[in-house]
Amino acid sequence: MKAPSPYRFTWFDWFCLWYPPGWLVLFNRHWQHYHDDPEGWNWLDYGLFLLPGGFYLALLSRWLRLGCRLPHKQKDQFEPTYQQAFRDEVLDPIVKYYFRGELRQLENLPQSGPLIVAMNHAGMCFPWDFLGLACLLSQARGWIVQPLASVALFDHLWIRWWLPPGWSQVLGGVRAERDSFEAALLQNTILLYQPEGLRGPAKGWKQRYKLQTFHPSLTLLSDHYRIQFCP
């Protein structure tokens, strides 16, 4: 990770922040400020993405520029410093002014980890609920929070095109696999876990407040590893 000055918003960034489809543009621009990304999005891709239907043209443009192949994976290690920069410079205004997220009953949270925070899913394909809760918890308690997520969040083709390769891992995502889970526990990690599983995003936005049947792995993990969980 490079260590330049903090990311400063230009008029284009403020526009992307105001216009929710531009958030992915903002994510990529922020990444490129802190990381070398020679295969990443450029200004042509940004402009096309903001047009109706231009997303597909942007994908085609980038695919041709890369020689008709997927971007190469560049980084896959968690960077707590970048997680904090992304939280403070990009995610915080989205959570505060768009989603208007807030935490209540903080007194029910333990002071330290390891801890599994069980959460419901908002029924959206992109994990805004994970990002939002992680942002609020880390601000309120100073925790380093990592979401436990399906491998699709790391390996799916759309993710590799939308976001810089390795973005999920660098921001702290933990693959829902035994080895990755156990490695995170050794660091006394605060893990976000969504026990609805794939039923969560499948229920849709209109059912976001209706809990689906929990996967039994929540209680099995807590019992096996003797780790507390907080709903």
Is pLDDT at 163 greater than 70 in this prediction?
yes
Mean pLDDT computed over 190-207:
69
Is pLDDT at 120 greater than 80 in this prediction?
no
Q: Which element (helix H / strand E) includes 85?
A: helix 80-86
Q: What are phi and psi of 157, to 5 degrees?
A: -60, -40
Terminal CA-to-CA distance of the chain, rounded, Å? 34
Cα angle, residue 145 at apex, residues 163 and 158 outer, rounded to 5°: 20
Domain ranges of the chain: 74-230
Highest mean pLDDT range out of 29-38, 74-83, 158-167, 215-224? 29-38
Q: Distance between CA atoms of 66 and 70, rounded to whole angstroms?
A: 7
Q: What is the pLDDT of residue 54?
A: 86
C-alpha distances in angstroms, 141 versus 16, 109, 118, 188? 29, 9, 17, 14
Q: Which element (helix H / strand E) includes 141?
A: helix 128-141
Round the average pLDDT of the chain to a whole number and report it: 83
Is pLDDT at 108 greater than 70 in this prediction?
yes
- What is the DSSP code (8-state) at residue 94? I
Q: What are phi and psi of 17, to 5 degrees?
A: -70, -40
Residue 75, SS3 per DSSP: coil
Q: CA 11, 14, 15, 21 torsion: positive or negative?
A: positive
Read off the pTM.
Answer: 0.86
Query: pLDDT digits over 2-48, tens only?
Result: 667 899 999 999 999 999 889 999 999 999 999 988 899 999 999 99
Mean pLDDT computed over 110-125:
74
Mean pLDDT computed over 70-98:
89
Strand order in the sheet with 190-193: 174-175, 145-149, 190-193, 115-118, 229-230
Query: pLDDT digits over 215-228, tens only?
Result: 666 667 767 777 77
Q: How confident is the model at residue 160 (pLDDT cuts 50, 70, 90)?
A: confident
Largest Cα span, the chain: 54
- What is the DSSP code (8-state) at residue 51? S
Q: What is the pLDDT of residue 185?
A: 77
Angle (deg, nearest 10), helices 217-225 and 178-185 = 50
Mean pLDDT computed over 102-106:
84
User: 37-70 burial, b if ≥16 CB within 10 A, otherwise e?
Assistant: bebbbeeebbebbbeeebbeebbebbeeeeeeee
Residue 105, SS3 per DSSP: coil
